[in-house]
Amino acid sequence: MLLQINFKSGKPAYLQLVDQVKAAVASGGLRAGDSLPGIRPLAEDLRLNRNTVAKAYAELESQGVIETAPGKGCFVAGNNSPLKKEVRIKMLSDEIDAAIVQAHHLQIADDQFLDLVRKRLDYFQQQNDKHASL
Amino acid sequence: MSTETPAIEIHQLARKYGNTDAVNGLTLSVRAGQCYGFFGRNGAGKTTTIRCLLNLLKPTSGSVRVFGLDPARDEVAVKRRLAYVPDQVAFYPWMTVAQTLEYLASFRDRWNQQTQRELLDRFRLDPAKKVDGLSKGQKTQLALIGAICPEPDLLILDEPTSGLDPIVRREFIQTIIGAYQETAPGRRTVFVSTHLISEFEGLIDQFTIIENGRAALTLEADAAREKYKKIRARFAGEPPRIDVPGILNLRRVGRDLEIVANGASDEIIHRLNAHAPESVSTEALTLEDIFLVSLK
C-alpha cells in the first residue's frame, strides 16, 4: 500500500494517514493480518515526524482498525470495532448528515444522491473483488 | 494540556548589544517530545535566543528556563541533558572521525554506540578519515551524530542545513531526527532554528516565527495549515470585489481571482459563491508560504 501526504490539502497529516489506511482496508487493499510499515521507516519515507505517524497509528488502534503486537509491529485487525453498534451507527449518521448538507449546497437531488451512494458502494465492492482475485 | 515541565520556557526575553535590541520581548514554550521550529530571517534574533538558552549570553531582561532550570544557575545540570549543533561546526582537524566521536563521548554519561555505527554507515562516513579532509556536509553530519549519540532530552539545532547541498540536506535531517526520536520518543525534544523551512515541513509539530526579536506568530503546524489558505476562483466575467477581514493578499488576473487568507476562508468562499463562480478551489499554505506572508 502506498501512503502519501499532501500538505496543501489542509488536513492534518496524521488524519490523512488514518483515512488512507481505513480506505485501503475498506477496499480490500489491506486485509486482516497484513502488517503496516514500522513507525520510523514510514516517518522517514513520508518525511514526517515520528510523532505524527505514532499519532496516526494510535488513532487507528483506538478505532479498532489495527492492532499492535509488542515487538512485532502493527497489523490490520479483524472486523471487531471496540464500539457498540448504536455508537457506530451514530458515528456514521453524523458523516452521512455532513454529506447530505454538502449535497444540498451542491444542488444534488435526493435520488441522485442515493444513486451516487450505490455507485460508490459498487466501486468499493469491485475494488475488493479485484484485490481478492490477485 | 500536560502539566509536565516544558523543555524550554522563554518569557519576555530581551537581549541588547549596545543600543541594538537583538531580542526584544520574546515569549515561547516548548513541550517535551515536540519538534519545534524557530523560524526567522537572518538577523531576526534566532541565534541570540539560542545563546541565552545555553548560557553563552546573559539576558538583558526576562527569563529562560530549560527543563525548568535557569541555565545561568544550573549550567551543568542543563547541559548534561541537551546537545547543541551550531551553524558553523568546528573540530580538531588532526583527529579522525572515530577519535572525534570518542572525544565527544568522554564528556557524556551515556553514548549509544549502535546509533553511532548505524549513522556512520548510513552517511558513509569513514571512521578512520581525518576530520580535516571532510566536506562541509560531512562535518555537519559528524556534528549531528555527536549530538544524538548521548541521547539528550533536548536537541538544539541552529540552522543545521544552511550552506549544504539542497538534495542531501533534506534526507539527512530526516535521518538524524528519526534516529534521535527512536529511543524514547516522548522525551526527545527538538528545537530547530532555520530560515529554510520547506525542508522541515513534515517534521514540525509547532513553530514560532521570530521577527525583530519577538514572536510574530506561534502555531501548531496542523492548525496553521488549516487556517492559512489560498483560494482560487474563476468567473464568467470580471471577478467581484470582496472585502473580508483576514484577506492577506488578493490578486485579480483576467477572470481569475486568487486570495490568500488567514482564517475566514469559509466566509470568503461563501461570498464568492454568491457571485456564481465557474470554479472555486482551496489549498492550504505550506509552512514556508505562511512564513513569507506573515513577514510582509
The answer to whether residues B69 and B158 belong to one domain is: yes
Q: How many CB atoms lie within 10 A of CB A64?
A: 15
**Residue B219 in domain:** no
- A76 contacts A30 by C-beta, under 8 angstroms: yes
User: What's residue B265's pLDDT?
Assistant: 86
**Chain B residues 234-253 with CB within 8 Å of chain A:** none
The answer to whether residues B265 and B170 belong to one domain is: no
Cβ–Cβ below 8 Å for A49 and B175: no
**For the residues B67-84, what does the mean pLDDT come to?**
96
pTM over 0.90: no
Decide which of B212, B235, B260 is a domain's last residue: B212
* Distance from the B26 Cα atom to the nearest Cα atom in chain A, whole angstroms: 26
- B259 contacts B246 by C-beta, under 8 angstroms: no
- B29 contacts B45 by C-beta, under 8 angstroms: no
Rounded to 5 degrees, φ, ψ at B158 are -105, 110
The answer to whether residues B164 and B102 belong to one domain is: yes
What percent of chain B stands above pLDDT 90?
A: 76
Nearest by CB to A49, from B175, B203, B284: name it.
Answer: B203
The answer to whether residues B69 and B206 belong to one domain is: yes
Q: Does A37 touch chain B (CB under 8 A)?
A: no
| pLDDT band at B3; cut points 50, 70, 90 | low
| Average pLDDT value over all residues in chain A | 90
Among B8-17, B133-142, B176-185, the least confident range: B176-185
User: What's residue A72's pLDDT?
Assistant: 85
User: What's residue A48's pLDDT?
Assistant: 92
Residue A37: alpha-carbon gap to chain centroid: 16
Please compute Rg for chain A using Cα positions: 17
Q: Does A106 touch chain B (CB under 8 A)?
A: no
Give A7-76's CATH code, choosing from 1.10.10.10, 3.40.1190.20, 3.10.530.10, 1.10.3720.10.
1.10.10.10
**For the residues B184-205, what does the mean pLDDT come to?**
89
Decide which of B212, B246, B276 is a domain's last residue: B212
Grid coordinates 549502535 are at which residue? Answer: B114
Chosen for mutation from A50, A53, A59 (greatest number of chain B CBs closer than 10 Å) is A50
How confident is the model over B46-60, as pLDDT tens digits? 999 999 999 999 999
For residue B2, pLDDT over 60 is answered with no
For chain A, domain boundaries = 7-76, 85-133
For residue B295, pLDDT over 60 is answered with yes
The answer to whether residues B154 and B48 belong to one domain is: yes
H-helix segments, A31-109: 39-46, 50-62, 85-105
DSSP assignment of B75-120 equals HHHHHHTEEEE-SS----TTSBHHHHHHHHHTT-S---HHHHHHHH
Chain B residues in contact with A9 (beta carbon < 8 A): 283-284
| Average pLDDT value over all residues in chain B | 92
| pLDDT band at B104; cut points 50, 70, 90 | very high
Q: Which of the pair, B171 or B101, is modelled with greater confidence?
A: B101
Q: Does B185 touch chain A (CB under 8 A)?
A: yes
How confident is the model over A44-95, as pLDDT tens digits? 889 898 999 999 999 999 988 999 888 888 999 987 677 788 888 998 999 9
| Nearest CA-CA partner of B70 in B79, B188, B150, B23 | B79
Q: Does A13 touch chain B (CB under 8 A)?
A: yes
User: What's residue B88's pLDDT?
Assistant: 87
The answer to whether residues B197 and B265 belong to one domain is: no
User: What's residue A119's pLDDT?
Assistant: 95
Q: How far is CA B33 from CA A128, B180, B193, in A?
A: 40, 11, 17
Cβ–Cβ below 8 Å for B202 and A47: yes
**Residue B2 in domain:** no
Q: How many domains does chain B have?
A: 2
User: What's residue A128's pLDDT?
Assistant: 85
Grid coordinates 549543533 are at which residue? Answer: B85
The answer to whether residues B125 and B186 belong to one domain is: yes
* Distance from the B290 Cα atom to the nearest Cα atom in chain A, whole angstroms: 12
The answer to whether residues B33 and B55 belong to one domain is: yes
Beta bridge partners of B21: B16
User: What's residue A83's pLDDT?
Assistant: 77
Chain A residues in contact with B123 (beta carbon < 8 A): none
The answer to whether residues B137 and B186 belong to one domain is: yes
**For the residues B247-252, what does the mean pLDDT come to?**
91
User: What's residue B87's pLDDT?
Assistant: 86
Cβ–Cβ below 8 Å for A51 and B286: no
User: What's residue A1's pLDDT?
Assistant: 67
For residue A102, pLDDT over 50 is answered with yes
**For the residues B235-261, what does the mean pLDDT come to?**
91
User: What's residue B33's pLDDT?
Assistant: 92
For residue B167, pLDDT over 80 is answered with no
For residue B200, pLDDT over 60 is answered with yes
The answer to whether residues B145 and B55 belong to one domain is: yes
Chain B residues in contact with A37 (beta carbon < 8 A): none
**Residue B1 in domain:** no
The answer to whether residues B253 and B289 belong to one domain is: yes
| pLDDT band at B1; cut points 50, 70, 90 | very low
**For the residues B104-133, what does the mean pLDDT come to?**
95
Decide which of B212, B234, B253 is a domain's last residue: B212
**For the residues B148-175, what does the mean pLDDT come to?**
86
* Distance from the A86 Cα atom to the nearest Cα atom in chain B, whole angstroms: 31
Domain region containing B247: 224-294
**Residue B202 in domain:** yes
Closest residue on chain A to B270 (Cα) = A105
Cβ–Cβ below 8 Å for B283 and A5: no
Q: Does B258 touch chain A (CB under 8 A)?
A: no
Q: Return the CATH number at B194.
A: 3.40.50.300
